[in-house]
Amino acid sequence: MPVDLSLYLVTDSTPAILKGRDLCTVVESALQGGECCSSLLPIIQLTPAGVTVVQYRDKTNDTGVQVETARKLHQVTKKYKVPLLINDRVDVALAIGAEGVHLGQDDMSFMEAKKLLPENAIIGISTSSVEEARKAAADGADYIGIGTMFATPTKTNTKSVIGTAGTQVILDAIKDSAIGTVSIGGINHSNVQRVLYQSQSPKKALDGVAIVSAIVAADDPKASAEQFVNLIRNPPRFAQASNPPRANEAEALLNKVPQIIRNMVKVHPLVHNMINFVVSNFVANVALSIGASPIMSPYGDEATDLCKFDGALLINMGTLTSESVSNYLKAIKAYNDRGNPVVYDPVGAAATHIRRNAVTQLMAGGYFDLIKGNEGEIRQVWGSSAVQQRGVDSGPSTLDGNQKATLARDLARRERNVVLLTGATDYLSDGERVIAVENGHPYLGQVTGTGCAVGTISGCFLSAHRSDRLLAVLSGILMYEIAAENAAAKEYVRGPGSFVPAFVDELYAIRTAAANGDDSWFDGRAKVHEELPIAAIMALPTRASRIRNPALFICDIQDKFRNGIYEFPKLVSTTEKMLRAASTLQIPVFITTQNRAKLGKTVPELQQHLNGPHIRADVDKTLFSMITPEIEKLLPAPDSAPLDVVIVGIETHICVTQTTLDLLERGHRVYILVDGVSSINPEERGIALARLRDAGAVVTSSESVLFEILGDAAHEAFRAVSGLVKETKETTKGALGVFSKI
Ligand SMILES: Cc1ncc(COP(=O)(O)OP(=O)(O)O)c(N)n1
Ligand SMILES: Cc1ncsc1CCOP(=O)(O)O
């Protein structure tokens, strides 16, 4: 049955939220938030007019009180012609004749509830992953509650906090279904528009938001509901229409750049820098030299006044302190509320635990018009689990140009903003267009602050040119990088030291030329082209880091191969050790055989270890890859919980290779045990392992993996596993002796 989910009120009877008030009175007040229109509408409204659904969620009272309260609430909701759903309790819903129920993953199944409830009852299901959402849609649920959007004190036992990015993935996965969708968790007046805007996938958007505390705990629930209705009806102020690429996009953009620079100089924008202390002075001088007005203020409360100058805010977390994040969040809110541009430079994003957390908090806490960073930083923001960053440098590059372009494009698409991935070539994308810029000079990499200044410059251009953010940032980078080339070409510039003053002079020279309407400095100088990204960043190899979610894959260790495969018994002994450890640690095991009828079963030495609940599959196949449809069905979706697949078996260059590539392609991480894989020709091993390492797999040893899974000598299985390692030390040595020479 269709249900208007736009403003979905979930009740809470805990004293901290209800504050001694009567629940029915609070709910009635919230329902009055749309009273002007609701009496004209049928019981299931199709236009948002105040609270559109109420869910009675009571975790404290016993059944008798719940039935009594639900009955009273139903009187109220009926008056406002709004459906009442009961959380968890089908029996309570039946007792009072409620319009439906909301069920969690651990509650009565959809099918059972469907059997018990009347034909037209509304049934909603909580989901936090793609599989749960797909299942609810396939079962025929009326809507899904997707969450938890943001961590919230109202429900602390939530399975996962998925944010707008996770919600978007779920919406995308069910884009072909008509099922209703509502987001829940930590949603309030200041983030509701962003939740709706940033969660949207190209083909499916949220139908509404479910709110507990922001309405039930509000001093004035009616005013709160009214405010939600207004916010839900309008896009956030920072929302922008997309600019789909046209033919010759780079050329079309370049034609506009001089004009954009002239305009920026004329506007003389203010740029509010919350920037690291190392580069503050240099960056302020750069901003002045291009004709902007910099102010450096790390004090979040000051932003409420500063944002009124309608300039841009730069968040550069280069010298993070314990107070930085809360100050940033205040400032971001002030600029977001006003619709003024915010630039995020996640300096050193992957370097430390504190910085990684700061990235998570800031990404959840506000909207950034531009995210600018090097490869390591942008990968961290994207959510790669294994970024290596030493200090603030990018760390070793793992992506080629095309992959960088794809990363920038996909992050911009996901966040619905603009992303600049900096490096010798800069990749700039708004989620549709990707522009590669090859201007600049190596001296820029030798002077502290030159990267940070790009964030500030971008802010200046974003605030002066609002209609096309990609064009604004492109103009800023070109002004900056051409000035660097001009400075480095001066005969008195001998290195980074003499480069700095020359660079500031050249920025000033371009600014002066632009102010005089002279664009000759730009003629033929831009080294810019359009980059066509590959399919999707999901296809990028996910480099493995720490093993967190292990699974053991045993590939085709069958009798018929015994005589042909190089050092077969040693591979079997490694596999036996891994199977025994998997049983102790209850690691899920997936086994395949290739054409069992012809090539025989998994070898007898391993058979005794192939029982138990952790043995998830034992599949015969003709495919070379182990990722058969049967096994694929059993794997978790990588966006919810990528596996750390430890693989052993044969042949390295055929079935092991194809399994590894399939797993990487699906976003899982793969660890190939050098002492557990073999081929008929030993030379094939080295070639295949090198290829798979390039593709993103980790080539390692059985013992190393076992200790990594344990992680701590205090692990309850430590004694058992270390005992096993000791017991098998001779066979391990033998296997390494032959297999480690790759
Ligand atoms: C609309 C909506 N979505 C999700 C939930 C959470 O339900 P559940 O997972 O069953 O957790 P509890 O509410 O039982 O704590 C919900 N209630 N409503
Ligand atoms: C019931 C529930 N399920 C996931 S989060 C949540 C509580 C949401 O409460 P609030 O709107 O106060 O953050």
Residue 37 is a catalytic residue: no
Quick: pLDDT tens for 530-551: 987 665 444 444 444 578 889 9
CA distance 56 to 510: 64
pLDDT at residue 107, as a whole number: 94
Candidate of 14, 152, 155, 167 to mutate for ligand 1, largest count of ligand atoms within 8 Å of Cβ = 155
Q: Is 124 in the pocket of ligand 2 (CB under 6 A)?
A: no
pLDDT of residue 639: 57
Instruction: Indicate the angle between helix axes 23-31 and 221-233, nearest 10 degrees.
Output: 40
Please, are residues 602 and 610 in contact by the beta-carbon 8 Å criterion? yes
Q: How confident is the model at residue 711 (pLDDT cuts 50, 70, 90)?
A: confident
- Write the DSSP symbol of residue 398: -
**C-beta atoms surrounding 422 within 10 Å:** 25
CB of residue 410 inside a 6 A radius of ligand 1: no
Ligand closest to 87 (CA) is 1
Encode 161-214 in three state secondary structure: CCHHHHHHHHHHHCCCCCCEEEEECCCCCCCHHHHHHHHCECCECCCEEEECHH
Ligand 2 centroid–CA 17 distance in Å is: 12
416 ligand 1 Cβ < 6 A: no
Q: What pLDDT score does 395 carry?
A: 55
Please compute the mean of the pLDDT values over residues 275-284 and round it to a whole number: 96
Model confidence band, residue 633 (pLDDT cutoffs 50, 70, 90): confident
Out of 452, 460, 555, 655, which one is annotated catalytic?
Answer: 452
Where residue 348 falls (left for φ over 0; alpha for ψ -120 to 50; beta otherwise) is left
550-557: average pLDDT:
97
Q: Which amino acid is at 353?
A: H
| Radius of gyration of the chain measured on its C-alpha atoms | 30
**Which of 739, 738, 620, 642 shows the shortest CA–CA distance to 689?**
739
Q: Which pLDDT tens digit goes with each residue over 182-213?
A: 999 999 999 999 999 999 999 999 999 999 99
> Regarding beta strands 180-184 and 342-345, do their DSSP bridges make them parallel or antiparallel, or are they unpaired?
unpaired
Does residue 128 register a pLDDT over 90?
Answer: yes
87 lines ligand 1 (CB under 6 A): yes
pLDDT band at 389 (very low <50, low <70, confident <90, very high): very low
pLDDT of residue 612: 83
pLDDT of 559 reads 92
pLDDT class of 293 with cuts at 50, 70, 90: very high
CATH fold group of domain 541-739? Rossmann fold (3.40.50)
User: What spacing in Å lies between the alpha carbon of 87 and ligand 1's midpoint?
Assistant: 7
User: 195, 149 in Cβ contact below 8 A?
Assistant: yes
| pLDDT at position 40 over 60 | no
CB-CB contact of 182 with 145 (8 Å): yes
* 297-321 residue pLDDT tens: 999 999 999 999 999 999 999 999 9
In this prediction, residues 47-52 reach a mean pLDDT of: 72
Average pLDDT over residues 643-667: 94
Highest mean pLDDT among 48-62, 370-384, 722-736 belongs to 722-736
Residue 393 phi/psi, 5-degree rounding, is: -70, 160
- Domain 7-233 superfamily per CATH: Aldolase class I (3.20.20.70)
More confident residue, 461 or 694: 461
Reported confidence tier of residue 243, pLDDT bands at 50, 70, 90 = confident
Rounded-to-integer distance, Cα 460 and Cα 370, Å: 12
**Ligand 1 pocket residue status of 210, Cβ below 6 Å:** yes
CA of 104, closest atom in ligand 1? 10
Query: Would the pLDDT of 44 be above 50?
Result: no
* Range in 112-121, 531-540, 650-659 the model is least confident about: 531-540
Q: Using one digit for the tens of pLDDT, what is the confidence trace for 462-518?
A: 999 999 999 999 999 999 999 999 999 999 999 999 999 999 999 999 999 999 999
pLDDT at residue 534, as a whole number: 60
Question: So where are the chain's domains?
Answer: 7-233, 249-530, 541-739
Which value does ipTM take for this structure?
A: 0.99
Two structure tokens written together for 257: 């750049």
Query: What's the mean pLDDT when you consider all of the chain?
Result: 91
pLDDT for 244 beyond 80: no
Peptide linkage before 226 cis (omega within 30 of 0) = no
Residue 41's pLDDT band (boundaries 50, 70, 90)? Answer: very low
- Cα-to-centroid distance, 11 and ligand 2 (Å): 10
Q: What is the pLDDT of residue 392?
A: 47
Q: Which atom of ligand 1 is nearest to the CA of 107?
A: 10
Ligand 2 atom closest to the CA of 10, numbered from 1: 1
Ligand closest in space to the Cα of 183: 1
Question: Is residue 174 over pLDDT 60?
Answer: yes
Return the H-helix or E-strand segment holding 606: helix 604-607
Q: Which atom of ligand 2 is nearest to 188's Cα?
A: 11
CATH 3.40.1190.20 fits 249-530, yes or no: yes
Residues 675/732, Cβ–Cβ less than 8 Å = yes
Task: Quote the CA–CA distance of 463 and 240 in Å, as a whole number.
Answer: 14
Is the C-beta atom of 89 inside 6 A of ligand 1? no
pLDDT at 641 over 80: no
pTM of the model: 0.72
Over range 436-451, report the average pLDDT: 96
Task: Please compute the mean of the pLDDT values over residues 567-583 and round it to a whole number.
Answer: 96
Indicate whether residue 127 lines ligand 1 (CB < 6 A): no
